[in-house]
Amino acid sequence: MAKEKAAVASRKRHVQVFDIVNYIVFIIIALIVMIPIWKVLVDSFNAVGVYKFQLWPSDFTTNGYLTIFTTQKLYRPFLNSVITTILGTLVGLTMATLGGYVLSQYEIPGRTGMAYFLLFTMIFSGGMIPEYLVMKSLHLTNTMWILVVKHGMNVYNLVLMRNFFEGIPSSLFEAAKIDGCSPMGIFFKIVLPLSKAALASIGLMFAVTVWNDYSTVQIYIVNRDQVNFQYILRVMVMDGDTPTTQYAVSQNTLFYAAIVCAILPFMALYPFLQKYFVKGVNMGAVKE
């Protein structure tokens, strides 16, 4: 009896030590992640451009944000980013959910071959020149709609959706078939309502991908009216093409204010999707 009590006490001590070490490690990781973000935020309010880390702005100013909000040439790129992100996310989710649902049906002929074909495209691509020729033949060059079409099909996200659908108990599908529900009826009435976590997680992946894409704009788009906000931001940061403004603001302050404005939409969106995103991390990991 005494040995059992000693063993239980020893296990409790080990658990407490593990919890303490775990908390310390994750606090360190959180600080490593937050330090660059905090520096960008502080420097966006600092009228004096400095390269060292500061906890607070030495000369507080909001002129950087006022410049961003009052510069008219930034309105159109920001609107383009919003439109392409919304449409690209909707198109990507539609393709991923429909494709994943089809591949999750074991009775469909050619299912395995199609899955391997799609996985092959994840490993090997046609290259930049063939892709450019395809986009040109589809008349998508020099237009912002290329961001919607180019990211509309993502095999990785499709595979994640398929794994999630395969984790739904098959008894639900069988019961729906017995009740006379069609395959598309099962998809809309059963699969989609049970897939909120997967839709939120993968939708966030699509949105971040489309919103942050500037390389596609740099390669395919020449018309300045069709570029997105990330491209303009890169031009400002890398080429020093800062807008003229009535506000006295340093170049570094303007750069950091533009960066904060670029990440602010997802900073505001993430808290509403967090509960679904946490559930969707392990989607497809457990199957019946």
For the stretch 150-189, pLDDT in tens is 888 788 888 888 888 888 787 887 888 888 888 788 888 8
Query: Closest Cα to residue 83, out of 200, 183, 225?
Result: 225
In a domain, 198, yes or no: yes
Mean pLDDT value of segment 75-102:
89
* The dihedral sign for the CA sequence 50, 56, 61, 65: positive
Whether the pLDDT of residue 239 is over 80: the answer is no
What was the pLDDT predicted at 1? 56
Q: Which two tokens stand for residue 10?
A: 């020893």
251 within some domain:
yes
**Residue 251 lies in domain:** 72-280
The residue behind tokens 């009435």 is: 189
Cα angle: 172, vertex 180, 92; to 5 degrees: 60
Task: Determine phi and psi for 157, rounding to 5 degrees.
Answer: -65, -35
How many other CB atoms are there within 10 angstroms of residue 246's CB atom? 9
pLDDT of residue 90: 92
Please give the residue that has the higher pLDDT: either 161 or 13. Answer: 161
Cα 89 to its chain centre, rounded Å, is 10
Contact 147, 86 (CB under 8 A): no
141 lies in some domain: yes
Residue 13 included in any domain: no
HEC sequence for 102-155: HHCCCCCCCHHHHHHHHHHHHHCCCCHHHHHHHHHHCCCCCCCHHHHHHCCCCH
The domain spanning residue 232 has which CATH number? 1.10.3720.10
Residue 148 · residue 217 · CB < 8 Å = no
Which of these ranges, 10-14, 37-41, 48-52, 100-104, has the smallest mean pLDDT?
10-14
How much is the pLDDT for 285? 46
Reported confidence tier of residue 15, pLDDT bands at 50, 70, 90: low
**Model confidence, pTM:** 0.77
* Residue 185: half-sphere exposure toward Cβ, Cα within 13 Å: 11
How far is it, in rounded angstroms, from Cα 48 to Cα 2?
A: 67
User: CB under 8 Å to 38, separation ≥6 — which residues?
Assistant: 55
Number of structural domains (the chain) is 1
Asked if the structure places residue 259 within a domain, the reply is: yes
Which pair of tokens denotes residue 156?
């990785």
Residue 32 lies in a domain: no
Are 79 and 142 within 8 A, CB to CB? no
CA atoms of 128 and 216, how far apart (whole Å)? 11
Residue-level pLDDT at 134: 85
CA gap 15, 45 in Å, rounded:
44
pLDDT (mean) for 266-274: 76
What's at 46, amino acid-wise?
N
In a domain, 192, yes or no: yes
- Which phi and psi angles does 60 have, rounded to 5°? -65, 135
Rounded CA-CA distance 138/143 in Å is: 11
Q: Tell me the pLDDT tens digit for each residue of 98-136.
A: 888 888 877 778 778 888 888 888 788 777 888 888 888
- What does the pLDDT look like over 188-201, one tens digit per residue? 888 888 888 888 88
Residue 53 — φ and ψ, nearest 5°?
-80, 135
90 inside domain:
yes
